[in-house]
Amino acid sequence: MRVAIIHNQFSDGGGMEAYMQGLVQGFLATGDEVHIHTYKVDSSFAADFSCTVHKSHLFYLPRRWKKYVFLKSCNDSFSGKDYDLSLSLTRTFAADIAIVGGVHPASTIADKGKRHILKRFHDKIEMAFERAMFNRVPFVVAHSKSIAEDIIEYYPNMDASKISVLYPPVDTEFFRKMNPHDKNLTSKEYALNREKIHLLFPSTGHKRKGFAELLAAFRRLDPARYQLLVTGESLRNFSDIPENVRYLGYITNLSHLYSVVDYTILPSHYEPFGLAVIESLECGTPVIVTKNVGAAELLSEKEAVILPDNQPDTILHAIKNLKKRTIVPGFVKRNGLLLSNHIECLKELVS
């Protein structure tokens, strides 16, 4: 099968980039021929995959305008007839299936700050592309029930019958519980004091994921008992970082960190799914999430602490009542989140 995947970038990055990587691996594993259509490529990253990359060259445009020109170009000239299956991970109606990991109006409402005139201008453009996508693409895959509900709420004129909910998969070859020896080595590598409770905050969008509120809670926690490890986006926009918060930079192999911390925490204002939640659980580590995290739809008290909100007092109370524990292995398989299942479902959708 010839498969096309459209996205803004083919590189290591946030949740949608991790999902894209999984798709490429999944289709290749079933013997499919994979073509990537994008305008930004990390050549060293792409070299690890046996697929064909079609790059749009938009050298002299500002970053956001590159995306808009790319989306219009896809809408105007991408030919799905060249492929047996085409998927878009960005706001274009050119493919057979639009994969939706979040709805733009919902994300703007979750942004608590005042949006200045330039942001509002870009919001209108993003929503225009999104509206056209929902109206014209044949199939829509929402990564959670809450995303499907947001689509219907904010775009009521679209045909809701073409929406399917399909949770994103996790690569169980990569994300898995470590053996005791490797776990001990990783704990030493990161100088973790096993007498403390360690929480991991993996994020490429700190504001939306509630980092300010999480910091406020950690300023009131005993550094001798609790430590927060932060990966991904830098902390340059935040001040008064307490001593019990450590920034580790951008880490590609998060499976090791998931395995050695006590909890992964995402106290998000808006989190359409939250792939880090499932990755952590598959590594044997429980999670703390707000009810605003889409992945919470799959969780029970055996695997998670689900917060009613992300106010500092709520977070503080939850952390103070934590106890070290592990979860029952096999969360991904129990919930049908294997990569092979996901690929099969996507193919069946257009068959």
Given strand 263-266, what is the order of strands in its sheet? 245-249, 226-232, 197-203, 263-266, 287-290, 304-307
Averaged pLDDT, 302-325: 95
Q: How many CB atoms are closer than 10 A to CB 137?
A: 20
Pairing outcome for strands 287-290 and 304-307: parallel
- Pair 220, 143: CB distance under 8 Å: no
Identify the band that residue 115 occupies on the pLDDT scale cut at 50, 70 and 90.
Answer: low
CA pair distance 267, 234, nearest whole angstrom: 18
258 pLDDT higher than 90: yes
Nearest to 20 by CA among 129, 99, 92: 99
324 pLDDT higher than 70: yes
Identify the weakest region by mean pLDDT among 62-71, 83-92, 222-231.
62-71
90 pLDDT higher than 80: yes
Mean pLDDT of the chain: 93
pLDDT tens digits for 178-187?
999 999 999 9
- Pair 56, 73: CB distance under 8 Å: yes
12 pLDDT higher than 90: no
Identify the band that residue 93 occupies on the pLDDT scale cut at 50, 70 and 90.
Answer: very high
Averaged pLDDT, 214-235: 95
Q: How many CB atoms are closer than 10 A to CB 125?
A: 16
Q: What is the pLDDT of residue 114?
A: 55
> Any idea which residue has 């359409």 for tokens?
272
**62 or 3: which leads in pLDDT:** 3
Q: What is the pLDDT of residue 111?
A: 65
Averaged pLDDT, 60-82: 92
| Structural domains of the chain sorted by starting position, each given as residue range(s) with its CATH number in brackets | 2-167+336-350 (3.40.50.2000), 180-334 (3.40.50.2000)
In the three-class reduction of DSSP (H, G, I as helix; E, B as strand; rest coil), residue 338 is classed as strand
Q: What is the pLDDT of residue 329?
A: 83
pLDDT tens digits for 153-209?
999 999 999 999 999 999 888 899 899 999 999 999 999 998 999 999 998 888 889
The 3 state secondary structure assigned to 28-56 is HHCCCEEEEEECEECHHHHCCCCCEEEEC
Identify the band that residue 110 occupies on the pLDDT scale cut at 50, 70 and 90.
Answer: low
240 pLDDT higher than 60: yes
Q: What is the pLDDT of residue 58?
A: 87
pLDDT tens digits for 30-70?
999 999 999 999 999 999 999 999 999 888 888 889 999 99
